Amino acid sequence: MRLYQITELEKLTGIKAHTIRIWEKRYNLIEPDRTSTNYRRYNDEQVKKLLNVSTLLSNGYKISKIAAFNEKEFYLKIIESKETKNEDVVCTTFINELLSAMIDFDERTFQKTYLAVIKHLGLFEAMLNVFYPLLNKIGLLWTINDINPAQEHFASCLIKRKIMSETDALPFAKSRKKKFLLLLVPGEMHDISLLFANYIIRSKGHETIYLGQDVPYENISVVLKQIKPNFILTFFTLPQNPKDVYSDFKKNIHLGENTKLIISGQSNITEHLKNKIDATVVYHPKDLLSYL
């Protein structure tokens, strides 16, 4: 069990640090440990409780009412939050449940929640409204060392497995009018967005050639010449010098007349490539639909 600083708790739950301090004094909501220098430290159970508090707040409950709930009432109100017609509340509830399962490395609960999300929303809407916000939140925390990378890997690997399973269940494309080449350039390893893009394209009946992560430039050139795709799609997740990325592209990737480059990810890189070469930037998964 790890201990969290109050700034980490703020980012994970969405509740301001100042508000958490007030609640501790006014409602005795949680009682953190303190270091020898009087800094607050919160354990996993306290984090999970505040995630549930966040869920109830999104459902319209006042903190004074939440603090007065006994354990059984608290649990029942969390269950009820998933039955509301307010989709934002439902999605918040699912995200917080998945975060709690991630903290505990609890695959059974993660799987159960995942299935409930898919049943309620379907994979496409679930990715947009639950899994993307979840990964964005824990990814942001990871970049400033606010969360154990193993927990992020645990969550992202489970989601990747699900996307691959759903993609494998899709029929092969009936029409080959549009062919998409999906890959990540050398050094790029985070392929969850690419996997989801592959699912979206395949689900709309188009052909994809999926090369995956960290593909050498010489291999990309060979495949481009051989298959002549209509589109090549790639993501940039690592912070890099945009000029270096452009130089690598210009030197190694030669698009045919009928091949369009679609890019997404780090805004400084994508905007630089957009201005330098004939590339289209995808800002949101729904943007892909215009090509399908």
Position 181 in a domain:
yes
Q: Are residues 107 and 249 in the same domain?
A: no
Q: Are residues 127 and 180 in the same domain?
A: no
Q: What is the mean pLDDT of residues 41-70?
A: 90
Element at 103 (helix H, strand E): helix 87-104
Q: Are residues 144 and 86 in the same domain?
A: yes
| DSSP conformational letter for 172 | P
Residue 21's CB is within 10 A of a number of other CB atoms, namely 13
Q: Are residues 163 and 46 in the same domain?
A: yes
> Chain-centre distance of CA 38, in angstroms?
35
Residue where one domain finishes, among candidates 109, 134, 167: 167
Position 154 in a domain:
yes
280 Ramachandran zone, left/alpha/beta (phi>0; psi -120 to 50) = beta
Q: Are residues 193 and 75 in the same domain?
A: no
CA atoms of 163 and 148, how far apart (whole Å): 23
The count of domains in the chain is 2
Position 1 in a domain:
no
pLDDT tens for 105-138 read 999 999 999 999 999 999 889 988 998 888 877 7
In this prediction, residue 253 carries a pLDDT of 86
Q: Are residues 236 and 112 in the same domain?
A: no
pLDDT tens for 25-51 read 898 888 888 888 888 888 888 989 999
CA atoms of 192 and 20, how far apart (whole Å): 33
Q: Are residues 85 and 182 in the same domain?
A: no
Residue whose entry in the numeric block shows the structure tokens 């970049």: 143
Q: Are residues 115 and 182 in the same domain?
A: no
The string of DSSP letters for the chain reads: ---B-HHHHHHHH---HHHHHHHHHHH-----EE-TT--EEB-HHHHHHHHHHHHHHHTT--HHHHHH--HHHHHHHHHHHTTSS-HHHHHHHHHHHHHHHHHHT-HHHHHHHHHHHHHHH-HHHHIIIIIHHHHHHHHHHHHTT-S-HHHHHHHHHHHHHHHHHHHHTSPPPS--SSEEEEE--TT----HHHHHHHHHHHHTT-EEEEEESS--HHHHHHHHHHH--SEEEEEE-S---HHHHHHHHHHH----TT-EEEEEE-HHHHHHHHHHSSEEE--SGGGGGGG-
Range of the domain at 268: 170-291
- Supply 141's token pair: 């925390």
Q: Which of 59, 95, 91 is nearest to 76 (CA)?
A: 59
Q: Are residues 47 and 158 in the same domain?
A: yes
Pairing mode, if any, of strands 260-265 and 279-281?
A: parallel
Residue where one domain finishes, among candidates 167, 199, 216: 167
Q: What is the mean pLDDT of residues 185-195?
A: 91
In this prediction, residue 226 carries a pLDDT of 92
Residue 183 in 3-state DSSP?
A: strand
In this prediction, residue 100 carries a pLDDT of 92
Q: Are residues 130 and 158 in the same domain?
A: yes
Residue where one domain finishes, among candidates 121, 138, 167: 167
Highest mean pLDDT pick, 22-36, 145-159, 208-222: 208-222
- Supply 230's token pair: 């209509």
What band does 8 get if pLDDT is binned at 50, 70 and 90?
confident
Position 53 in a domain:
yes
Position 151 in a domain:
yes
Q: Are residues 197 and 142 in the same domain?
A: no
Q: Are residues 193 and 280 in the same domain?
A: yes
Whole-structure pTM value: 0.79
Report whether 91 contacts 99 (CB < 8 A): no
Q: Tell me the residue ranges of DSSP E strands in the chain.
A: 33-34, 40-41, 179-183, 207-212, 231-236, 260-265, 279-281
Q: What is the mean pLDDT of residues 275-290?
A: 85
Q: Which of 173, 169, 179 is nearest to 291 (CA)?
A: 179
What band does 20 get if pLDDT is binned at 50, 70 and 90?
very high
Pairing mode, if any, of strands 231-236 and 207-212?
A: unpaired
CATH number at residue 218: 3.40.50.280
| pLDDT at 144 exceeding the cut of 90 | no
